Structure 1
Amino acid sequence: MIARSLLIAPLALLAGCTHLASDNVDSPMDVHRNLLVLDTHLDTPINFGREGWDFAASHTLANDIAQVDLGRMAQGNLDGGFFVIYTAQGPLTPQGYEDALQFARERSDTIDREMARHPAMIGTATSAAEAQRLNDAGKLIALKSIENSYPLGEDLSLLKEFRQRGVSMAGPVHSANNQFADSATDTPRWNGLSPLGQKWVAEMNRLGMVIDASHASDAAFDQMLELSQAPIILSHSSPRWAFDHPRNLDDTRIRKLAEHNGAICMSTIYMSDMHLTDERAELFDRYEQIAELSAAEQADLIRRWRALDQTDPMWSIDFDRYMEAALHLIEVAGVDHVCFGADWDGGGGIKGMMDISALPMLTARLLEAGYTPEQIGQMTSGNVLRIMRAAEATANVTEAN
């Protein structure tokens, strides 16, 4: 979402990596192409339904604000991921819950409608097995997740409704405390999970849904890790080693996550201060309503956003620093406990890796660092699918009992 288009960058970088290839070793681009690549947090549904916007096209950062579309998924070999039902935090009142639930249901339906428009290119999956079958059939994969369980109100039976709507991952909280948990970026109210939040964990396990601890406070993370019968995930979080911010996870907790067979998905956010100027905040407010803007209003938003990228980028890091942090994360957690969720279309993207067309660079750098294609495949999808299967198995055990 930041700066100019980098569609040529992956090819340029990979051209410089030809020393990795030989008669018996695939090139970095070949390795990347052969991987199953899933991103665990795609905020792209915010763009669905925009006037004049085509999800099936291949846009560029020069002419659009979106970082993900079907064209660039093919170009960057992003095979799929979790399309997010995000609901902003509102008041903890019956009316607030009702309004949020209506919004979340509509966002879920919006995702379904968009995927149904492109059946030859992408299919929906509600389980690890379905995701694998779609990949085997040569189709892209659309999974669903909930960012912020606030729309559930105090009625945990609604989790079953969203599971039936195809949601396979959910997080309890976003940027402010809610009825389930303390947020990483708010003053503690519950000192972790609320009593209802503890029941939320049990219901997530019963339904076979993956628990997402991104945005949760350290105390809430600790409690979810101990209470959950299945491994948990952080769908879009960075290591605190890279930048001391409460949205990031410290090395001690990363190791505990690995001990519990979970995984942390490397993000591109909060590895520097966020440069949220008054103008950027105004543009974010407009962006959240982009599907309601006319084509002319969208064009004005995109023009102003890109101009601000040139004068005051949102994040101060570049791809090299991102890779330093990613390699540190892999060293601490191990290859069996790392995944990737850059927060595309939700504020993610850094200089040198601004949209999904740049993903081959990540594979090239991991190969340069000495990781094998098999190990990289664990990180690009294997760990996510393993955690999904573990959550599904917990549901089956619960049903059997």
Structure 2
Amino acid sequence: MDQMMTPFKSTTAGLVSVLALAACQTATSQEPVAEPDFMEQHQGLIILDTHLDTPANLVQPGFDIMERHDAALDYSQVDWPRMEEGGLDGGWWVLYTPQGPLDERSYQLTRDVAIMRAVAVREMVAANPDEFEMADTAADARRIANEGKKVVMMSIENSYPLGTDVSLLETFYNLGVRMVGPVHFRNNQFADSGTDIQQAYGGLSPLGEELVREANRLGMVLDGSHAADDVFDDLIELSGAPIILSHSGTSAIYMHPRNIDDERLRTLAEHGGVIQINALGSYLKQFPENPERDAAMRAMRAEFSTSPADMTEEEYEVYIARRNEVDAQFPPERADFEDFMEQLLHALRVIGPEHVGIGPDWDGGGGVIGLEDVSDYPAITQRLLDEGYSWDDIGNIMGGNSLRVLEAAESHAAELAAAATTE
């Protein structure tokens, strides 16, 4: 038996040697296949932010979206060079107006401000057609991003400019608005705010319910950020399409009226919605009182008789220099990257990467130490990889989920239109 096995072993060993040599020769005759590096894969993602407050900067004197700015000097966080550095493909550019009196004259004035902000966004696109393009649909957004240009859709933060005429929402839709939030810091004609002292309606007003129906008809995404919890509940119940929280946080990590509890997070996911985690420090953690800074900021504002948007370029430079002085003398308390990630990772644990995204509130007060402006998006991607999330997960978090919600709104609008034609 042993004598019979010897030649067999010898033959087998020879065959293995021949195969090994052949494999070696094949390997050396071909170029090694290099894995894409981190930045290549990061830049390959479609990264869309659901709350860019940058239109407020577009109307500032001397601001040029094509120039690289410095958040430490002029407080701006979004421009084309930094979008390129961070891999940000664009997103929803915000038409924000502060809450004012509930009367017809105030509605008209605020409506005009909101329309002019929309015009400023469209002028940015028209002036830079090789870098920016308006997207009417989710499919447009994907195409534009894949072509290397920046995606521009608009959103309304605070529906106050609509007055009591919900049909005006279609005018904003035609201007490029694809997301609408009913309310901001104070109750208005549509809904209760999460940060007002006392609720007026216990959720949406009857006019707010009309707003939901009109947004559904048009294919706009409804945004529950800033809304009271009862408004969130009403949006979930009344909207035929998933809703979004464009820049919010979780109250399990930090209890704040702007943040949402885990039960509602799960409800949001069950209805196909998404929470986009913001990076505004006061929604991430509690800060100690800073009365000296508060007094210095009040005194600074009293020095200037006009708002920054109405200043000349020279006046605005003086204003920014004065604000830098206050910050240097009385530095603001700030949250850091870990505070932001604690919120993001908690939401991911509760409802998963199919229902969570990023909405730091750039140019609207967001930004933390380590996440200063849009050039810092790679830090989020790297941390998610370190936490074990796949590139597919990160693709959903960075833009895929928000596009899915927009697609659902578009599909629901198409269903409503089809049903209306058969009646």
For residues 295 and 311 of structure 1, do their structure 2 counterparts lie closer, same or farther at Cα, with a shift above 3 Å needed? same
Matched, 1:305 2:323: yes
Matched, 1:277 2:291: no
Matched, 1:131 2:141: yes
Alignment of 1:67-106 (within 5 A): 67-106=77-116
| Matched-pair contact (CA < 8 Å) for 2:78–2:374 | yes
Query: Shift in Å at residue 82 of structure 1?
Result: 0.8
Query: Shift in Å at residue 162 of structure 1?
Result: 0.8
2-side partners of 1:283 and 1:167: how far apart? 35
Matched, 1:345 2:363: yes
1-side partners of 2:307 and 2:66: how far apart? 21
Partner of 1:81, secondary structure, is strand
For residues 210 and 396 of structure 1, do their structure 2 counterparts lie closer, same or farther at Cα, with a shift above 3 Å needed? same
| Matched-pair contact (CA < 8 Å) for 2:73–2:324 | no
Q: Which residue identity is paired with 1:82?
A: W
1-side partners of 2:182 and 2:93: how far apart? 17
2-side partners of 1:315 and 1:73: how far apart? 26
2-side partners of 1:201 and 1:151: how far apart? 16
1:107-148 Cα distance to aligned partner (Å, 9 max, x none): 111111122111011111121011111112221111100000
| Matched-pair contact (CA < 8 Å) for 2:51–2:92 | yes
Equivalent residue for 2:270, pick from 249, 259, 277 = 259
Query: Shift in Å at residue 308 of structure 1?
Result: 4.0
Runs of 5+ consecutive residues of structure 2 not aligned to the other structure: 1-31
Instruction: Pick 1 or 2: higher relative contact order, CA cutoff 8 A, min separation 6.
Output: 1
1-side partners of 2:306 and 2:384: how far apart? 34
Matched, 1:290 2:308: yes
Query: Shift in Å at residue 196 of structure 1?
Result: 1.0
Equivalent residue for 1:224, pick from 221, 225, 235 = 235
Matched, 1:42 2:59: no
2-side partners of 1:316 and 1:250: how far apart? 24
Matched, 1:328 2:338: no
Partner of 1:54, secondary structure, is coil
1:322-381 Cα distance to aligned partner (Å, 9 max, x none): 112211111112100011111000111111111111111010100000001110000101
Equivalent residue for 1:376, pick from 376, 390, 394 = 394
TM-score normalised by L of structure 1: 0.90
1-side partners of 2:299 and 2:122: how far apart? 29
Equivalent residue for 2:158, pick from 148, 172, 178 = 148
Query: Shift in Å at residue 293 of structure 1?
Result: 2.0
2-side partners of 1:284 and 1:236: how far apart? 27
Matched, 1:193 2:195: no
2-side partners of 1:302 and 1:370: how far apart? 42
Residues paired across the two proteins, number: 380
Deviates more, 1:268-277 or 1:234-243: 268-277
Partner of 2:151, secondary structure, is strand
Q: Which residue identity is paired with 2:122?
A: D
| Matched-pair contact (CA < 8 Å) for 1:29–1:364 | no
| Matched-pair contact (CA < 8 Å) for 1:28–1:363 | no
2-side partners of 1:264 and 1:381: how far apart? 12
1:83-102 Cα distance to aligned partner (Å, 9 max, x none): 10001101111111111111
For residues 287 and 214 of structure 1, do their structure 2 counterparts lie closer, same or farther at Cα, with a shift above 3 Å needed? farther
Q: RMSD of aligned C-alpha atoms?
A: 2.1
For residues 280 and 43 of structure 1, do their structure 2 counterparts lie closer, same or farther at Cα, with a shift above 3 Å needed? farther
For residues 363 and 370 of structure 1, do their structure 2 counterparts lie closer, same or farther at Cα, with a shift above 3 Å needed? same
| Matched-pair contact (CA < 8 Å) for 1:272–1:316 | no
Q: Who is 1:238 aligned against?
A: 249
| Matched-pair contact (CA < 8 Å) for 1:145–1:168 | yes
Query: Shift in Å at residue 298 of structure 1?
Result: 2.3
Q: Which residue identity is paired with 2:374?
A: I
Equivalent residue for 2:128, pick from 100, 111, 118 = 118
For residues 334 and 399 of structure 1, do their structure 2 counterparts lie closer, same or farther at Cα, with a shift above 3 Å needed? same
For residues 145 and 287 of structure 1, do their structure 2 counterparts lie closer, same or farther at Cα, with a shift above 3 Å needed? farther
For residues 212 and 258 of structure 1, do their structure 2 counterparts lie closer, same or farther at Cα, with a shift above 3 Å needed? same
Matched, 1:212 2:227: no
Larger radius of gyration: 2
Equivalent residue for 1:174, pick from 146, 164, 184 = 184
Runs of 5+ consecutive residues of structure 1 not aligned to the other structure: 1-21
2-side partners of 1:212 and 1:236: how far apart? 9
Query: Shift in Å at residue 241 of structure 1?
Result: 2.0
Query: Shift in Å at residue 277 of structure 1?
Result: 1.9
| Matched-pair contact (CA < 8 Å) for 1:48–1:291 | no
Q: Which residue identity is paired with 1:393?
A: S
